[in-house]
């Protein structure tokens, strides 16, 4: 039987960890196959080399089997067919069952553009989920799935939860 494949897509290093790190940890515990696609090196937020190294270390902690890089410039992620094709190439390669990506109603243009491109690229994928990150929006609500500890605390009283 084929493992469930999960692709988490982030505009910048750390978006995935902030937005869905707890969810990916849970998916990995369920023996799902995890892959990451990060579109920029986050060079506007620090040393791109350091941020990429941190992303690679984080991917190992999350149990990701692969990490792909988009090589786009930070704060200049385009909303165009080229970005859609970049995402589609990765989708064709790993054939994910579940895709997680930045939320489209975000104040950061890279997050919005990535979400819109992902919506087009994933038009044939049944399960596309959006996550929020601490951006400039003050009304962010975090899911209890953000942290496995919170997940256990909030869901354990309801009984065990198993993957579908």
Summarize pLDDT for 122-159 with one digit per residue, the tens.
999 999 999 999 875 555 455 545 544 443 333 434 44
Within a domain: 64:
yes
**Do residues 83 and 77 touch, judged by C-beta distance below 8 A?**
yes
Torsion, Cα of 53, 78, 62, 143 (10° steps): 130
- Closest of 111, 27, 18 to residue 64, by C-alpha: 27
Q: Decide if 30 is inside a domain.
A: yes
> What is the rounded average pLDDT of the residues 22-50?
96
Q: Would residue 163 count as lying in a domain?
A: no
Residue 69 lies in a domain: yes
Q: What number is the average pLDDT over the span 25-41? A: 97
In a domain, 164, yes or no: no
Q: Is residue 93 part of a domain?
A: yes
pLDDT for residue 150:
40
Q: Which domain holds residue 120?
A: 5-158
Q: Which residues pair with 66 in a beta bridge?
A: 35
Residue 90 domain flag: yes
Average of per-residue pLDDT across 24-42:
97
Tell me how many domains the chain contains: 1
Domain presence at residue 61: yes
Q: What is the pTM of this model?
A: 0.83
pLDDT band per the 50, 70, 90 thresholds, residue 160: very low
Kindly report the CATH number assigned to the domain that includes residue 125.
Answer: 3.40.50.10320
What pLDDT is attached to residue 157? Answer: 41
């Amino acid at each position: 039987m084929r493992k469930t494949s999960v692709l988490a897509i982030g505009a910048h290093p750390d978006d995935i960890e902030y937005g869905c790190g707890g969810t990916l940890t849970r998916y990995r515990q369920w023996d799902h196959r995890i892959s990451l696609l990060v579109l920029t090196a986050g060079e506007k937020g620090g040393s791109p080399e350091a941020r990429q190294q941190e992303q690679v270390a984080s991917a190992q902690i999350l149990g990701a089997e692969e990490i792909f890089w988009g090589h786009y410039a930070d704060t200049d992620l385009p909303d165009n067919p080229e970005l859609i094709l970049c995402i589609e190439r990765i989708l064709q390669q790993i054939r994910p069952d579940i895709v997680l990506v930045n939320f489209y109603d975000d104040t950061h243009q890279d997050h919005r553009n990535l979400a819109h491109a992902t919506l087009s690229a994933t038009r044939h994928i049944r399960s596309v989920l959006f996550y929020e990150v601490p951006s400039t929006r003050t009304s962010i609500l975090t899911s209890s799935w953000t942290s496995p500890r919170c997940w256990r605390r909030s869901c354990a009283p309801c009984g065990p939860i198993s993957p579908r």
